[in-house]
Amino acid sequence: MCNGMNALSSTLPSSYRPISLLNVDIKIITKALSHQLEKIIPSIIHPDQTGFTKGRNSSNNTRRLFNIMHHSTTHNHNSIIATLDAEKAFDRVNWSFLIHTLHSFGFGESFINWIKTLYTSPTATVITNGQTSQSFTLHRGTRQGCPLSPSLFTIFIEPLAAAIRQNPLITGIQTPNMHHKISLYADDILLFMDNPKSSLQEVISVIKSFSLLSDYSINWNKSSILPLNTNSLAVAALTTPIPFCTSHITYLGIHISPRLSELINLNFTPLLKKINDDLQRWMNLPLSILGRIATVKMTILPKISYLCSMIPTHPPLTWFHSLDSSINKFYWKNKPPRVKLATLQKSKSLGGLNAPNFHHYSLANQLQYIYKWTHPTQSDSTWLDIEQTVSKDIHLSDLPFLSQTIKKHPCFQNPTISSALTAWWKFYSITNSTLAPSLFTPIWHNLDFISNKQSLYFSTWVEKGITHLKHIFNNNTLVPFSLLVQKFGIRSHQFLQYLQVSSSIQSSMKNKNINLDLPPLPSKLINIPSSKKILSKLYKLLSQADSTPSIPS
């Protein structure tokens, strides 16, 4: 249970926000300024902030959170997490503080003068029931609907994040090689704290100091604290304005429990009930089959896709079966289906109607992390560093090309890693591909390549650039030692090591005629050139697995 009251009261004016309309002149100039500002935001704003920043998204926050929670509970740390609810965040931006912050970041006078022009004595009127009020002057806040507002707020809130990061009296949660204190998505703030008795009071003090300068305000009653293990429960006795929750908290619309095994029941189970209720309410609407599919795509698919992108745990097949059953009844208005659901889910070129396959969307959301492992430079994500540390000597980019013996490795105990790998293996199954050694398979620390009862590793070979099977195989045949000497500069006295490598690899590959090329569809996934619209690309690959046209009998 949580002691805080998060529901908005319909009797309080503060629970309402008007619809704000801007004139076209302002939208044109702010769009031009925003286009320039967006280019530099990733270079000046810390990776802790993922909101309105190119190359970053909210799923980075939750994946980082689940990694930290797993580490904390595994090592039994005295840790808590806290969500902070900003009170009318964008409406409380102090313009003088914002201008000062822009100067501190080194923005030029020309850009700052444009911001001053936009926020010098602006006026507004209120239209209520057709009646227009007299104009009045605005004194703070960034404009609703302004293209520039998100980036300006990101800059405005960064000094608070920096103050928390740099304060030595605030003890964050330590993972190997990293110290975590704060995570932000625009105004949604998540704090990580060890030693909460002292850290909490210092955080509150820092926020109050920031509020005096910037007019920023936290609604403490709508904020919440979640202890991550029993050692942290004692902190609930502290006197603090932030309510304590013992079961779960809500962050970015996701119910978070210290027990990751509860994520399905907390999130997917209520969503399924809500979907069933909605479908039942819409059942008798005068919609064609195309209209019903469009309704599902517009109203239900985004909710499911969002949950699947934010939560590493894959829902059980029974959940998808129940969902598909409800969706199919809606398509056919509770009458016997005229066409199989699997046929409707195919593309129009194959005789279907492009109805969404929710199981494939869920897998695609997990497969995007496989893509990010193999293309780390395309993602500015702290969670990548955490998962690399968990994987120890095995590079994240190598995990997809190992056999299921990776289950014996400690990294597989991490639910974010195991869920992504399980989705990858499921992808192989759906596409009728065989998980076998390939040119991308790593040689070192590979539990399939054993010599003297331990996995292979020769540091001098790594230094020479020999790391994967592609470096020692040509046309599916192990290259002779002389070629390695010539190409990589291996010393002649390392011939014994070559024999060890050759023996252990060939012993693992009992099939002498093995093909080391990746199967076609997994190869397409790995070679997707850009992460732009990656979810759609992955879903399309899954759909290609069943490319048999549906011909009516």
| Rounded average pLDDT per 10-residue block, the chain, 553 residues | 58 71 88 94 95 91 95 86 92 95 96 94 86 90 90 97 97 92 96 89 95 94 88 63 88 93 94 98 96 98 96 93 98 95 93 96 96 86 92 96 95 96 95 92 96 93 97 94 95 94 90 83 93 93 76 49
pLDDT at 549: 64
**Which residues, in sequence order, are CB contacts of 58 under 8 Å at separation 6+?**
50, 51, 185, 252, 310
Tell me the pTM: 0.90
Q: What is the DSSP letter of 316?
A: P
E strand segments, 343-413:
none
Q: Which element (helix H / strand E) includes 361?
A: helix 358-374
Residue 5's pLDDT is what? 46
pLDDT given for residue 553 in this prediction? 43
| Rounded distance between C-alpha atoms, residue 19 and residue 308, angstroms | 31
Straight-line distance from the first to the last Cα atom of the chain, in angstroms, rounded to the nearest whole number: 56
Sign of CA dihedral 132, 138, 141, 147: positive
| Token pair in block for residue 393 | 């000597």
In this structure, the strands spanning 173-175 and 131-132 are unpaired
Tell how strand 450-451 and strand 254-256 pair up.
unpaired
Any idea what the Cα angle at residue 124 is, between residues 122 and 126, rounded to 5°?
170
**Are 79 and 173 in contact, with CB atoms under 8 Å apart?**
yes
pLDDT at 239: 67
* Bridging pattern class, strands 178-180 and 182-185: unpaired
d(CA 352, CA 543): 11
Write down the pLDDT at residue 219: 92
